[in-house]
Amino acid sequence: MKLKAALALLAVVSPLIAHAQFAKPEDAVEYRQSSLFLLGNHFSRLGAVVKGEQPFNKDEVAKNAELVATLSKLPWPAFENGVTTPKSKAKPDAFSNHAKFKEASDKMELAVAQLNTAAKGGDLASIKKAFGEAAQTCKSCHDSFRAK
């Protein structure tokens, strides 16, 4: 391959590689917990609106749903090195049963993408329904793969 073509290819794939790499293996734990923390925070803000604890502001809801959809893609590569120290709550199955874990994360990403679409539409009833379905995908993965 010509050098120029090789460099162009590297420029395309290197962000994908960098995605799953960490300076220290334990950084993966912090990365996944931090991204899930942010995801949980913005998801809860939507939950407060859905439960009627906060007023329905379409723009705020759309902003949070967009963030949730973006954040939903971040945690998974940080599970790939299988590191659980320090203080990970991931059960061993999250690493050994990769296919089932991936299925659960795919389901969640799809559900929050649908929630994002509903949020952009601005209809509260559709948002509530999509939120409920997304919340179910969090719960089902936590039940199987996260220690109490």
Please give the annotated binding residues, written as ranges.
Answer: 138, 141-142
Give the relative orientation of helices 98-121 and 124-145 as an angle to the nearest 10 degrees.
160
CA dist., res. 59 & res. 56, Å (int): 9
Q: Is 29 exposed, middle or buried (0-12, 13-18, 19+ CB in 10 A)?
A: buried
CA dist., res. 94 & res. 21, Å (int): 19
Taking CB under 6 A as the binding criterion, the range among 4-12, 25-33, 56-64, 117-125 that sits at the site for ligand HEC is 25-33
Tokens of 61: 């809801």
Taking CB under 6 A as the binding criterion, the range among 18-26, 51-59, 99-107, 119-127 that sits at the site for ligand HEC is 99-107
Taking CB under 6 A as the binding criterion, the range among 1-9, 52-60, 88-96, 124-132 that sits at the site for ligand HEC is 88-96
Which residues face 146 on adjacent strands? Answer: 90
Instruction: For the CB of residue 6, give the shortest distance to ligand HEC in the complex, in Å.
Output: 36
Residue from 67, 94, 127, 130 in contact with ligand HEC (CB under 6 A): 94
What are the residues binding ligand HEC (CB under 6 A)? 29, 32-33, 36-37, 39-40, 43, 88-90, 94, 101, 104-105, 108, 112, 134, 137-138, 141-142, 145-146
